Structure 1
């Protein structure tokens, strides 16, 4: 950015992401723009797969927050990935309802089927098995998992295989 004084850090955000961040910003008073940081980071991660320092700096610039404050938020919440991950993120709920209904078997099946453990990405970059999720708020559908932004409930190993096979 030093070579072009008119370029801003937020210029790396595309129009789609800016529109989504603007939607979040519209929900808060002008003097509380920082309240949109979670939505902004979610939009950026959805677009790019994970949050780089450059992208977090862009969010900070766009919503007018100190960069360190954006880093603190991104590193605090488990929903944000600061390193590259697989194309499809799989999160298995491991809270009480899901564990009582077989979440541990679903996790074991996923690890065996994908050949990876929690927190790892398949060698082909296709799947990321996210660290344990304490609760995904779908207890009535236990056991359940989230793949990208879609919930799958009442899981069995066979149903998990069907879901994985349907993803490109």
Structure 2
């Protein structure tokens, strides 16, 4: 069996403790396979990528890992921190509403990194009640978006943000 598909066995530390078996999730396998594809040169040259993640808690660390690997492959290591925070928060938010899957897409073009997160729920991403302004003025959305992203928005069931990666001036709304 290929090493990537073998279960991970952790041996007990204390005397008499039984080893535990920990299987990788589908999302974990997807992230591992994507990282391998980038390291071997099979992927990473394209400036756009999209993944379909199962709506499970493992989607958040897998999405963060895949984003970091792609940004590194694209030479955008200095933007990994902000992208990591934003992707993790938005995928976690999408998991609260998704029924089966969440799509994460990244594009890098003209000194601009764009990320889109889409869930598979049958209704729109943000209802009118969620658009009401809160005490902090974040309009019901994650406050990280306003602080870290150059621009962001909601289009149907897609929440997106952009990060400026070059000398282009950032125009915050």
TM-score by length of 2: 0.29
Query: Which has a greater percent of strand?
Result: 2
Structure ranking higher in helix proportion: 1
